[in-house]
Amino acid sequence: MTPGVGHLLPVLLLLGLGGCTEKAEPEAPRAVYSRLVSLAPNLTELVFAAGAGDALVGVSAYSDYPPAARDLPVVGDAFSVDQEQLALLRPDALLVWESGIPEHVIDELRQAGYQVELIRTRSLQDVAIALRRIGELTGHARDADAAADDFLDGLLALKQKYASAAAISVFYQVYQRPLYTINGEHYVSELIQLCGGQNIFADLNALAPAISVEAVIERDPEVMLASTDAGDDAFADWRRWPSLSAVRTGNQFMMPADSIGRGTPRLLAAGQTVCDALQTAREKRTTG
C-alpha cells in the first residue's frame, strides 16, 4: 500500500484523484447483485445507507463506517487491488467510484472478467442518485429510495433555514502544501452555498484546482474552512498575512474530515457544521 495514503485519503476523496475515468454510467442496472465488493470507502457507506449492507462481501481499505464495514475483507485501495483476495470473494459486481480510481485499474478489472458498476458522487444530487442506483443494483430499491428522500429533505431543510442569512465569502482549503481548493461544482461548495456562503473560487474550471497564496489574498475571504485531516495547524501559514479578513477576525474553522470528505448522507451533518461556522462568523460582524 502506498505510504501515507491513509493520512491523505480524505484529501484524495475531495480531489477526485485527478486524471481518473469520467465514463458515463449505464442508464439502468443489468442485474440484481448479491455479492458486491466496494472499491471506495464512500461507496461502502452508501451501500449500507441504501439498506444493502448484506450484499457486501468485500471492501476497500479505510472502509470504516458504519462499524459493520470494518468486519469485511479488504481487497486493496484506490491504487491497487489484491486480485487473489478478490477471486476468493467471488463477487458478481464491483462498485467503483467514478472519479476515484485510475482508469487503468478499472480496465484491468474488466479484462479480468469482473462486472464494474461506476458510481458518481461529485454533487449533492449525485449522492441521492447513487443511493437509488445501489438500491436498484441490489434489490433494495425501497430502502434506498427512502434514504435518498431523507437526504434530499435534509438538504432542503438546511437551505430553508439559512435562506435569509447574510452572504459571506468563504475559502475552502483542501490541502495546505500544495494549496488546493474546490470550485462551484463540488458538493462542499454546494454546502457552503446552502448555508448562505459564497465560495471565492466557485468560478474556476477544475473541480479541485491548485491555487496561489496571492489569489487567496486578492479575494480576501471572510471565512476559511479546512477539514480535520489537514492537521491541527492547517491555517498556520496564513498568520503571515494578519490583514486577511478571516485571519484578522479568527474566522478559521475545522470541518470533520470523515463526513465532509465523503459523498454520503453524512454530508447533512457536515453541512450543519459548515452552517454553524458561517453563522459564528456573521455574529462576529455585529460584535466585533
Q: Are residues 126 and 170 in the same domain?
A: no
Q: Are residues 145 and 195 in the same domain?
A: no
Task: For residue 58, give the H/E element and its range.
Answer: strand 56-58
The residue assigned the cell 458538493 is 187
Q: In terms of pTM, does the model score above 0.85?
A: yes
- The confidence score (pLDDT) of residue 19 equals 40
Percent of the chain predicted with pLDDT > 90: 78
pLDDT tens, residue by residue, 155-170: 999 999 999 999 999 9
- The confidence score (pLDDT) of residue 103 equals 87
Residue 259 lies in a domain: yes
Mean pLDDT on 3-18: 47
Radius of gyration of the chain (CA): 20
Q: Are residues 148 and 173 in the same domain?
A: no
Judged by DSSP in three states, 168 sits in: strand
Residue 212 lies in a domain: yes
Instruction: Give the pLDDT band (50/70/90) at residue 13.
Output: low
- The confidence score (pLDDT) of residue 232 equals 77
Mean pLDDT on 210-234: 93
Grid coordinates belonging to 98: 467514478
Domain boundary at 92, 123, 157, which?
A: 157
Residue 2 lies in a domain: no
Task: For residue 132, give the H/E element and its range.
Answer: helix 124-138
What is the extent of the structural domain holding 150? 9-157
Grid coordinates belonging to 168: 459571506
Q: Are residues 210 and 152 in the same domain?
A: no
Q: Are residues 134 and 229 in the same domain?
A: no
The tally of domains found in the chain comes to: 2
Q: Are residues 115 and 232 in the same domain?
A: no
Q: Are residues 224 and 254 in the same domain?
A: yes
pLDDT tens, residue by residue, 125-147: 999 999 999 999 999 999 999 99
Whole-number Å distance between alpha carbons of 152 and 140: 18
Q: Are residues 128 and 200 in the same domain?
A: no
Domain boundary at 123, 157, 191, which?
A: 157
- The confidence score (pLDDT) of residue 158 equals 96
- The confidence score (pLDDT) of residue 42 equals 96
Whole-number Å distance between alpha carbons of 261 and 135: 23
Assign 3-state DSSP to the chain and report helix, strand, coil percentages, each to 5: 45, 15, 40
Whole-number Å distance between alpha carbons of 254 and 74: 30
Q: Are residues 68 and 174 in the same domain?
A: no
Task: For residue 93, give the H/E element and its range.
Answer: strand 93-97
Domain boundary at 138, 157, 176, which?
A: 157
Asked whether the predicted pLDDT for residue 8 surpasses 50, the reply is no
Q: Are residues 173 and 81 in the same domain?
A: no
Q: Are residues 113 and 209 in the same domain?
A: no
Query: Residue 136 sits in a domain of what CATH number?
Result: 3.40.50.1980
- The confidence score (pLDDT) of residue 233 equals 87
Q: Which residue has the higher pLDDT, 77 or 14?
A: 77
Residue 3 lies in a domain: no
pLDDT tens, residue by residue, 18-60: 444 444 454 554 569 999 999 999 999 999 999 999 999 999 9
Q: Are residues 34 and 150 in the same domain?
A: yes
Judged by DSSP in three states, 208 sits in: coil
